Amino acid sequence: MAEVQRMDEVEQELLLNDLKHARMDEFRERFFDRHSYDQGKWFASIEPEEREILYRFLSPEEMAAIFENLDTDEKEIEMYLSEMDSIYAAQMLAQMYADDAVDVLNELDQSQVAGYLTLMEEDAAKEIRELLHYKEFTAGSIMTTEFVAIHAQQTVRSAMQILKTEAPNAETIYYTFVVDEDKRLVGVVSLRDLIISEDDTMISEIMNERVYSVLVSVDQEEAARKIRDYNFLALPVVDIHDRLLGIITIDDIVDVIDEEASEDYSKLAGISDADSQDKGPFSAAKKRLPWLIILLFLGMLTASLIGRFEKTLDQVAILSVFIPLIAGMAGNTGTQALAVAIRRIALGETAKETAFKILMREAGTGLIAGTVCGVAVTGVVFVWKGDLVLGLLVGAAILFSLIVAAVAGAMVPLIMHRFKIDPAVASGPFITTINDIISILIYLGLATLFIQNLH
């Protein structure tokens, strides 16, 4: 089989020339010699008037394969569909795998969705409608109904006939799920087992009855964890009566993991959507302002707190030099603990140990880190300023601040997770600001307590 190569700039330019000069045969030969991922990237890179020519060169079925490999936002999807003839677009959506078509339609408003479904053939429209009814971000919303199912009381020969007939329209055939007369999931057979078994062998003899599945209503993250933990290529989705409704394939889970990681990163950064490709600064600012305003008021609280220790700072002005150091150390420690806690929650590892044990481990980590950093800064301040008491004060403040910051960084997401709130919203900037307040309170509180010993 010929090697499929990635497109370079020269190849992209040749494709564009074929397109502009209406050399359809040359274009199609060159275009379909490339991977569908590269085809999708090239499609997104050309101008609207060039895509209009492309729609005439490609059938709806061929365009469907390209659309399934697009990684675009809502505005771009709407733009591409608006460029197409409505019937062409509807036929393209009908040719896509149902779960991929649903992903596209979920980006449109209800009137547009209804319009495209009306133009589709009834079978395709019915399949897509069923998936559209499931709540977004659940197993049902990402599953596909294009799979192969067989019965336990049939032979390998008849199962292979079914597989040959239905395989062209199925997303994967490496797993074949086994159902009973009521369509309840009872087992799974791998393609390998079917191939190596005798034709007259009953499916019930070779199937694996210990089959893992997820409910159609569970969160997509739970489905992703199950596929990751058990190294599945596909995961069956069932209703409360264990009837097989669809399957989730590994390619869908990769998309889920990417989406969830991007969402968590956005929240950790204190913005609404890190993947947003805003064209102008106003849209980006609108998404970032809510967190910035919250942090602004928290910052004012920090300033007010420092103001309450004005007398202490007036008497020993050198104390103000170390405020950024202590606050920064506490903020960094809290952010580290936050990241570890959110990762453990995302991977489902918090169920393996109690919250108390997690907090004690973070407290121990903060104690060790704080002791090392505290001793180091005590020596530096003593050598720099020649004041052992000042050095001990700064070192002690760092020690206690790092312990509290580590515990707080782990405790906040654990509490939010307990109350069914996304722990990623306890963002890095939020935790940093909270730890600034705590560390300054510790530092200046100790300074006020021992001010008689300071020079």
- Count the neighbouring beta carbons within 10 Å of the beta carbon of residue 377: 23
Q: Among 146, 170, 341, which Cα is nearest to 245's?
A: 146
Q: Among 259, 267, 265, which Cα is nearest to 291's?
A: 267
Burial of 39 (0-12, 13-18, 19+ CB in 10 A): buried
| pLDDT of residue 428 exceeding 70 | no
**Core vs surface per residue 117-141: b (16+ CB within 10 A) or e:** bebbeeebbebbbebbebeeebbbb
Place of tokens 């365009």: 63
Give me the percent of the chain exceeding a pLDDT of 90: 47
| pLDDT of residue 284 exceeding 70 | no
Q: How confident is the model at residue 261 (pLDDT cuts 50, 70, 90)?
A: low
188's enclosing H/E stretch is strand 185-190
The secondary structure of 65-79 as a DSSP string is HHHTT----HHHHHH
pLDDT value, residue 298: 76
Q: If one looks up domain 281-453 in CATH, what number appears?
A: 1.10.357.20
Q: How many residues does the chain have?
A: 455
pLDDT value, residue 416: 80
Pick the CATH number of 149-250 from 2.40.30.10, 3.10.580.10, 3.40.190.10, 3.40.50.300: 3.10.580.10
Burial of 387 (0-12, 13-18, 19+ CB in 10 A): middle
Pick the CATH number of 9-134 from 3.30.1370.60, 1.10.10.10, 1.25.60.10, 1.50.10.20: 1.25.60.10
* Mode of pairing for the β-strands spanning 175-179 and 185-190: antiparallel
pLDDT, mean of residues 235-256: 91
DSSP code of 169? G
List where CATH 3.10.580.10 sits in the chain: 149-250
DSSP code of 248? E
CA distance 318 to 320: 5
pLDDT value, residue 275: 46
* 340 contacts 407 by C-beta, under 8 angstroms: no
pLDDT tens column, 403-416: 999 999 888 888 88
Selected residue with higher pLDDT from 396 and 34: 396
pLDDT value, residue 288: 67
List where CATH 1.10.357.20 sits in the chain: 281-453
* 149 contacts 167 by C-beta, under 8 angstroms: no
pLDDT value, residue 313: 84
Considering the chain, what is the average pLDDT of its residues?
86
pLDDT value, residue 225: 86
pLDDT value, residue 253: 87
pLDDT, mean of residues 8-32: 89
pTM above 0.75, yes or no: no
pLDDT tens column, 64-120: 999 888 877 777 888 999 999 999 999 999 999 888 899 889 888 888 999 999 999
Selected residue with higher pLDDT from 39 and 265: 39
pLDDT, mean of residues 143-164: 93
Return the structure tokens found at 169.
């329209």
| pLDDT of residue 440 exceeding 50 | yes
